[in-house]
Amino acid sequence: MDSYYDSGYLAAIAGIVIFSIIIGLAGYVLGSLFYMKIFQKAGVQGAWRAWVPVYNVMIFFKLGDLSPWLVLYGIAGTALLGWIGVGYVFSVALAVLSAIAAWRVGLKLQKDAVWVILYVFLSIVWLGINAFDKSRWNPNIQPASWAGNGFLGDRTVWDGIPAQPSAAAPQAGYGAPQGYAPPAPQGYAPPAQPGYAPPAQPGYAPPAGPAAPATGAPVPPVPPTTPPAPPATPPAPPTAPPAAPPTTPPAPPAPPSDPTQPPA
């Protein structure tokens, strides 16, 4: 009887182990595939990098503006200090840092910060969505506050992996850090007055100006640009008007005398 129960117990344990191995292999394959697609969007050279355990997570941290060595610190702390009961602290810290890296990677994949909640509860679903959607990688996102310095900042440069703004010189473009420089003092310059140009009439073409004279030809006189000056002295008054005509008509001549009558 005991051997029967023992064999059943061992079969159950073996089934759980086999099932766990299958689930682990399936998760590894899916996670590596999703990492590979995200790395391709980010411009990482070499698809094999996504299939190397631990190394793919280090690249994910690097793309998320975090030092990739934090992954090794978290794994080593969990393994070495687990026997005294404080290894879980490193496990929790590694999970928090993974969420921060996912937040930064999501911003570069055109995702809002609220998407990190999905990564916290279902990281494999978050990776699958970002791997196969139509989002594009934008490396010019504003660098994180810890970029370039501190314990979290990424200062490593690896061949085949694009350097993030935190590990490279600032690039011009949206999201690049800009230092403030006060404007240089300049003298006052009044704004130029634009010349007035009448609007062109539809269908009307102004007459062409006279052509320039050929070399050696006489140059026509230039018309005066100012009117002539008025005379200095006023004109002389007019002469006296002619005499008025007589108001009474002249007397008619006397009739001729009768030749038959003697003179008086």
Only one residue has tokens 């280090």, namely 58
Q: How far is CA 244 from CA 33, 219, 240, 241, 248, in A?
A: 130, 58, 12, 9, 12
User: Is residue 153 a contact partner of residue 166, using CB atoms and an 8 Å limit?
Assistant: yes
Q: Residue 97's closest CA among 152, 160, 159?
A: 152
User: Is residue 117 a contact partner of residue 35, using CB atoms and an 8 Å limit?
Assistant: no
Name residues whose C-beta falls within 8 Å of residue 169's C-beta, 6 or more positions apart in sequence. none
Only one residue has tokens 């590990």, namely 167
- Residue pLDDT tens, the chain, 264 long: 556 556 777 888 888 999 999 999 999 999 999 999 999 999 999 999 999 999 999 999 999 999 999 999 999 999 998 888 888 999 999 999 999 999 999 999 999 999 999 999 999 999 999 999 999 999 888 888 887 667 888 888 999 998 876 555 444 443 344 444 444 555 555 555 555 555 555 555 555 555 555 555 555 666 656 666 666 666 666 555 555 555 555 566 665 555 555 554
User: Is residue 19 a contact partner of residue 13, using CB atoms and an 8 Å limit?
Assistant: no
